[in-house]
Chains A and B, each alone.
Chain A
Amino acid sequence: MKSKLQGFDYANMFVLILISIVCVYPLWNIFAVSLSDGIYAAASKVYLVPKGFNVETYKYVLNNPRLGVADGLLNSFLYTVVGTLVAVIMTFITAYPLSKKRLAGRKLIMLVFMFTFIFEAGIIPNYIVYHGVGLVNSFWVMVIPGAINTFLLIIMRSFLDALPEELEESAHIDGANDLQIMWRIYFPLTRPAIATVCVFYSVSIWNQFLIPAIYLQKQSLKPITLVLYNLIISAGKDGTSLESINVNGVQLLPQNLQAAAVFLAVAPILIVYPFAQKYFTKGMLIGSVKG
């Protein structure tokens, strides 16, 4: 404002920048290691810039089916795309009728949604149901059960609630039916809420660990999160441990390979982050104010 920056401002900004560095440094270091020669990575000599720069690690990680990284990324991608599409449509078509005040029974239905939101049956009763409908070792376990998130349903409904009712009335007079009104008038107007919900769903499906850990035992179905677990965290326990190899004169050690796998798992998030940040903030504020 009017006064000049004081010592406090500089100290404050210095600390905040330091905190920011702590937030990104781990990932940056992983990135640098993934592009380095194994000799330097093994001695922990890589901090900020890759040493012995090469992309052999990425080539090896992606072209080696035994590691499962390429398959894992592809699976996660498919789960995320199909899952988000289904979830957004399901959430919208459920929120839309529930936003109409003339719909008898809507309060009761919302109440049931709320109740199941707070009172969780838990992982074992869920397993019995999912098992019963054939979702064990099925692609669809990543898509269908999570298709309506109660929190996002509320966000979507609050948004629809805020749209003027006159829109619908005039369309009714022109002879449009509810289905036409929903798709032609309300759906385009709901775009900001759709974008928010889209971001929420896609990030959560991409990051999903518990569901695949319980339901997807088949190697060919595993998403990247499970592949990472096998390669890094439980490495050596179940025979998937990595060995050092020499490719085109470059030393590839477990450290490089793991770093490359981790970075590949985060890369898509980095790409969508600018949108994600914007819409996440919006959604959070709608959720907390209106809820």
Chain B
Amino acid sequence: MQTALRSETAGGRGRRLWNGMWRSRLLYLILIPGLVHMLVFKLLPLFGLVIAFQDYSLIKGIGASKWVGFANFEKFLSDPYFWKLLKNTALLAFFNLLFVFPIPILFALMVNEVRIKSVQRFVQTVTFFPYFISSAVAVSILYTFLSPQSGLVNMALQSMGGEPVFFMSEPGWFRPLYVALNVWQLFGYSSIIYLAAMTNIDPHLYEAADMDGASRFRKMFHITLPSILNTIVIMFILAIGQIMTVDLDKILLMYNPSLYDTADVIQSYVYRQAFATRGFPNYSYGAAVGLMQSIVAFILVLSANKASKKFSDSQIF
């Protein structure tokens, strides 16, 4: 095929391509809405990023706004608050990874050991459910449970003689609560992939181990875990790639000015630059900060993907 094409003249190849395209003209017609959608909602915003180099105003538009070069970037990088945001973003991502990543693996190991199928199914059904609950609902429930006046948690603390804790307005509580909420929402969902990998393990391995008189724990650590190691490594690499991606919904729902000390991250800061209820929107500055974040995230995802390809044939993108 390759050599046949190469031996043709350029004109012949062009005509052949055109004929093929003409025969598939209805397919191209079907593709038009999708292409227009991609152009407007996925590519056009990328061109909109040029406002990061402008002093953009929504009224003037991109054409008439003043160009300022790298001024927005310089301003952000020289702002002491930049380090605070960077630290908050990194710490939140780190603690999140520390708990959200390993818990589903432990959980999957436990579920895999259950020998009564109905119990196994029940546990999976129930623990998967929080994934479907919106962050708005999850944070609302958190608020009602932790309310200093009427929440169950504070009532329990007070009945034991403690003082009520203002969980939702103390900076020290933000990270633990954010991570706990993420674990609650995600562990059942994330364990599915590991459980699927475990069902693919050859049962002969366990039978052979039984003959040798291996205990349950030995089988878990010497058969089950090594068999899903590939999956674990790939999931870990991907999680590292996603490390810059915080759950903005959840942060916006959970934080308030009294928590900025720990809760304000790069994305929430970008959000406030443009959409805060008070103050003048600073689109260009926000876009510049967002662009830096996007570039770092892009590099991380690409390298993670490249690394994961080394570990397996299944590529993610």
Closest to B132 in A: A269
User: Is A247 interfacial (CB-CB < 8 Å)?
Assistant: no
27 contacts between A and B (CB under 8 A): A15-B110, A19-B127, A23-B188, A24-B126, A44-B151, A44-B155, A90-B37, A94-B33, A97-B31, A98-B31, A100-B27, A116-B43, A122-B270, A124-B51, A147-B37, A178-B27, A179-B30, A209-B136, A209-B253, A210-B249, A228-B137, A232-B144, A233-B139, A262-B141, A269-B133, A273-B132, A285-B196
B137 touching A104, Cβ below 8 Å: no
Interface centre among A9, A98, A121, A148 (most CB of B within 10 A): A121
User: Is A281 interfacial (CB-CB < 8 Å)?
Assistant: yes
Cα–Cα distance between A184 and B270 once the two chains are bound (Å): 47
User: Is A170 interfacial (CB-CB < 8 Å)?
Assistant: no
Q: Please indicate the chain A residues that have their CB under 8 angstroms from the CB of B129 in the complex.
A: 23-24, 273
Interface string of A256-286 (1 = CB under 8 A from B): 0011001001100100010011001100110
Cα–Cα distance between A288 and B194 once the two chains are bound (Å): 11
User: Is A102 interfacial (CB-CB < 8 Å)?
Assistant: yes
Stretch at the interface among B78-86, B90-98, B117-125: B117-125
Q: Please indicate the chain A residues that have their CB under 8 angstroms from the CB of B286 in the complex.
A: 124
Q: Please indicate the chain B residues that have their CB under 8 angstroms from the CB of A125 in the complex.
A: 45-46, 48-49, 51, 287, 290
Chain A: interface size category: 35 or more
B143 touching A16, Cβ below 8 Å: no
Stretch at the interface among B3-11, B171-179, B222-230, B291-299: B291-299
Cα–Cα distance between A280 and B274 once the two chains are bound (Å): 35
Closest to A91 in B: B34
Q: Please indicate the chain B residues that have their CB under 8 angstroms from the CB of A280 in the complex.
A: 128, 131, 189
Q: Please indicate the chain B residues that have their CB under 8 angstroms from the CB of A273 in the complex.
A: 129, 132
Cα–Cα distance between A6 and B131 once the two chains are bound (Å): 32
Interface string of B24-55 (1 = CB under 8 A from A): 10111111011101101111111011010000
Closest to B62 in A: A128
Cα–Cα distance between A82 and B301 once the two chains are bound (Å): 33
User: Is B64 interfacial (CB-CB < 8 Å)?
Assistant: no
A104 touching B33, Cβ below 8 Å: no
The chain B residues found within 8 Å of chain A, CB to CB, are 17, 20-21, 23-24, 26-31, 33-35, 37-38, 40-46, 48-49, 51, 56, 58, 62, 107, 110-111, 113-116, 119, 122-123, 125-137, 139-141, 143-145, 150-152, 155, 184, 188-189, 192-193, 196, 216, 248-249, 252-253, 270-271, 273-275, 283, 286-287, 290-291, 293-294, 297-298, 301-302, 314-317
Q: Which 3 A-B pairs have the closest CB atoms?
A: A94-B34, A207-B134, A125-B48
Q: Please indicate the chain B residues that have their CB under 8 angstroms from the CB of A258 in the complex.
A: 140, 144
User: Is A12 interfacial (CB-CB < 8 Å)?
Assistant: yes
Cα–Cα distance between A9 and B119 once the two chains are bound (Å): 11
Q: Please indicate the chain B residues that have their CB under 8 angstroms from the CB of A178 in the complex.
A: 24, 26-27, 30
CB distance from A31 to the nearest CB of B (A): 11
Q: Please indicate the chain B residues that have their CB under 8 angstroms from the CB of A47 in the complex.
A: 152
Stretch at the interface among A52-60, A62-70, A107-115, A189-197: A107-115
A129 touching B45, Cβ below 8 Å: yes
Closest to B109 in A: A12
Cα–Cα distance between A23 and B141 once the two chains are bound (Å): 12
Given contacts A13-B119, A27-B133, 4 further A-B contacts (CB under 8 A): A93-B33, A125-B48, A126-B41, A277-B125
The answer to whether residues A103 and B24 also contact, given A90-B33, A210-B249, A291-B316 and a CB cut-off of 8 A, is yes
Q: Please indicate the chain B residues that have their CB under 8 angstroms from the CB of A224 in the complex.
A: 136
Out of A112, A118, A121, A225, name the residue touching B45 (CB < 8 Å). Answer: A121
B144 touching A119, Cβ below 8 Å: no
Interface centre among B23, B30, B271 (most CB of A within 10 A): B30
User: Is A139 interfacial (CB-CB < 8 Å)?
Assistant: no
CB distance from B138 to the nearest CB of A (A): 9
Q: Please indicate the chain A residues that have their CB under 8 angstroms from the CB of B293 in the complex.
A: 122
CB distance from B241 to the nearest CB of A (A): 9
User: Is A162 interfacial (CB-CB < 8 Å)?
Assistant: no
Q: Please indicate the chain B residues that have their CB under 8 angstroms from the CB of A203 in the complex.
A: 132
Q: Please indicate the chain B residues that have their CB under 8 angstroms from the CB of A27 in the complex.
A: 133, 141
The answer to whether residues A122 and B30 also contact, given A206-B134, A229-B136, A269-B133 and a CB cut-off of 8 A, is no
Q: Please indicate the chain A residues that have their CB under 8 angstroms from the CB of B134 in the complex.
A: 206-209, 225, 265
